[in-house]
């Protein structure tokens, strides 16, 4: 089984450098990026398309779906990590938002610490595990495309590699040292004997 992880195209939130809400659509540049990754994916065998329900990922997946002629199945497990409601829609340079983000980073290693209503490490660990168990149980003989988000893609990759040994510290280091581009392509393979392999990470050569 191969799993192709694609980050959504540039959204209006990305362009404006604000903490995003669930309903932010693709920017004009993001739609062009989606068309480019769609053309690239036409050369690859894909059986199923899964996508986050958030608008920016949904729109990216729809462009790809139209190009490949494969319908999109919504998977809530692929949604972006939920941030605290206090900072959604605010600029990434907003001082109050920066203080909240600092507190979250400071306590992230505790696993279950929560500032307000955001998802923490334990939440993300549980839902990525649920998704991986689902595809291994139901789609082991298929090649899958998953349209998702930066944090969630990084968490999925970490979960594939480290499994139950994944710690908040390990994910924190990975998150801050592995960048993802809009429509960057990450390729993962699963073999029964050896488990998961990460063969490509954030390949954006189509842009």
Q: Model confidence over 34-55: pLDDT tens digits? A: 999 999 999 999 999 999 999 9
Q: Please report the sign of the dihedral spanned by the C-alpha atoms of residue 76, residue 155, residue 81, residue 121.
A: positive
pLDDT, tens digit, for every residue of 52-65? Answer: 999 999 999 999 99
Q: What is this structure's pTM?
A: 0.96
**Maximum separation of any 2 CA atoms in the chain, in Å:** 49
136 inside domain: yes
Distance CA 206, CA 173 (A): 27
Over range 121-141, report the average pLDDT. Answer: 97
189 inside domain: yes
Answer whether 121's CB lies under 8 Å from 111's CB.
Answer: yes
Place of tokens 């500032």: 115
Report how many domains make up the chain: 1
177: domain CATH number? 3.40.50.1240
93 inside domain: no
DSSP 142: S
165 inside domain: yes
């Amino acid at each position: 089984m191969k799993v192709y992880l694609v980050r959504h195209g540039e959204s209006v939130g990305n362009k404006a450098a604000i903490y995003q809400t669930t309903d932010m659509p693709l920017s004009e540049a993001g739609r062009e990026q989606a068309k480019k990754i769609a053309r690239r994916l036409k050369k690859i065998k894909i059986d199923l398309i899964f996508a986050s329900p958030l608008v920016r990922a949904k729109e990216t997946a729809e462009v790809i779906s139209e190009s490949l002629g494969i319908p999109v199945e919504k998977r809530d497990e692929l949604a972006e990590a939920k941030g605290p409601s206090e900072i959604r829609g605010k600029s990434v340079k907003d001082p109050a938002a920066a203080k909240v983000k600092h507190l979250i980073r400071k306590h992230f290693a505790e696993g279950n610490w929560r500032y307000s209503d955001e998802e923490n490490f334990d939440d993300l660990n549980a839902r990525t595990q649920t998704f991986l168990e689902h595809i291994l149980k139901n789609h082991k003989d298929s090649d899958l495309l998953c349209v998702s988000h930066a944090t969630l893609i990084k968490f999925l990759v970490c979960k594939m590699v480290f499994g139950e040994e994944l710690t908040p510290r390990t994910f924190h280091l990975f998150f801050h040292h592995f960048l993802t581009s809009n429509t960057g392509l990450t390729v993962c393979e699963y073999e029964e004997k050896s488990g998961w392999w990460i063969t490509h990470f954030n390949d954006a050569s189509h842009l």
